[in-house]
Chain A
Amino acid sequence: MAKPILSVEGLVKSYGAHQVLQGVSFQVTMQEVLVIIGLSGSGKSTLLRCINGLEDFSAGRIVVDGIEVDPHRASVWAVRQKVGMIFQHFNLFPHLTARQNIELAPRRVLGLPAAECHARADALLARVGLAQFADKYPGRLSGGQQQRVAIARALAMQPSVMLFDEPTSALDPETVGEVLNTMKELAGSGMTMIVVTHELGFAREVGNRILFMDGGVIVEGGAPEAILSRPQNPRTRQFIQAVL
């Protein structure tokens, strides 16, 4: 097996008495597309937020590209620069145009020259098929377009891993496809991705591996075809039947 770029070992996270993650372990190798499925409240989103240090965890260990994730240490900022995150509700900055949304972090975090940031933003907008929307504010874009801008914004920091937290759940059905296509293109380009989604078609077509989570643990994991067509665990079976 190739060298993992990300490893999660025995991750535990609790809110008071409630344990959201009860010992989650897995690894992701370079260029892998890992799809995580499971019911709401199974801890998928919390898991993603722990990976780039947006949330504290109670026990366990996460290592990204050789850096241990610890929200209380300054090194967490290095992790965040290596890990891009896509949110369910896009979370664009509403006072900035699409291009400005993309330019901000390269310009103010990496300190790159304005012209370079501008060019990088335009190239990324073209890549996600939104070149003509560069000067539009998020409020003027559809959900699918906003999510593609958000993907371009994360890519502008040239991350080694991209996390997707239900990227299409808040979208109108007719714009889901354009976002999934953008993600598929990204996977094809060799990006390492962890995708939390209910889009099982995407999981089957683009994913290299699927993990099914329930009650804060990984119940079952394996190749998409195996998990989706021949789930071994009754809970996985029940979930897949409900979603399909």
Chain B
Amino acid sequence: MSDDGRIVVSGLTKQYRKVRAVDDLSFTVQSGRVTGFLGPNGAGKTTTLRMILNLVTPTAGKATIGGVHYSQLAQPLRHVGAILEASSAHKGRTGRNHLRIICAAAGFPLKRADEALELVGLTPAAKRKFRGYSLGMRQRLGIAAALLGDPKVLILDEPANGLDPEGIRWMRDLLKALAQQGRTILVSSHLLSEMELLADDVIIIANGKLVKQGTMKAVINGLSTTERVRVRTPQAQELVKALGSEVSVETDDDVLLVTGASAPEVGAAALRAGVELHELVAEKPDLEHVFLELTAGKAGIR
């Protein structure tokens, strides 16, 4: 995949009457990877995505896809597919007609609509009116619309919202498959565990500003939280004694949370003291920890 799918955001700012929704935001989304776009509610994720797609006019800064502004793409749907919130279809129109209308405007053959419906498994409901679609079916129709032009870049705003577990899993598999075909995928979400499974890179924003950008691994490991070991034992007191005074221990029922010693060290100490262990786990920091730490106090209503 060439540079075509790179999304570059530089100095992007959106000032609403009283709120600076996005504040001098800059980041780059690499092509051929899944990038998770994270932030607390109201962080400016949706506004940023809409500015990239020329739906919201920035107060300052710019965003380009493959080096050009969205409005300058000759055939935008061939380059970029998007699923956004507050995007819908006419309630009285069938899903198939909704897609055919987009095909006509984009200059695609109308039969692309049927192919896209097939791709997302909506063919049985193709001629049903949008009014009767479940949330999951609506989301699938949105994806079908995004895939009409077989785009290199996919931008998705909270695609898992309102999906049931099966739907979420379907979405994950689909996005992974699309990424493996070499497409650029920028997906915003607040389902952090889901993101950890899906994304190669992460961009975290809060209050409209960039907090962290990097590969998933680097972001998670880059956090300075000291490693903790979780131990469950019926002989808590003996174990604490055996560990010595250099480590600090928090107790929670029969669970000990040990900082200052690695899991092998704790295991060795327990063996020497003849203490029985039921559980010994090194707690790795996960995306949720990192996210909450990085965005602490920045969430909420502005």
Task: Decide whether A and B assemble into one complex.
Answer: no
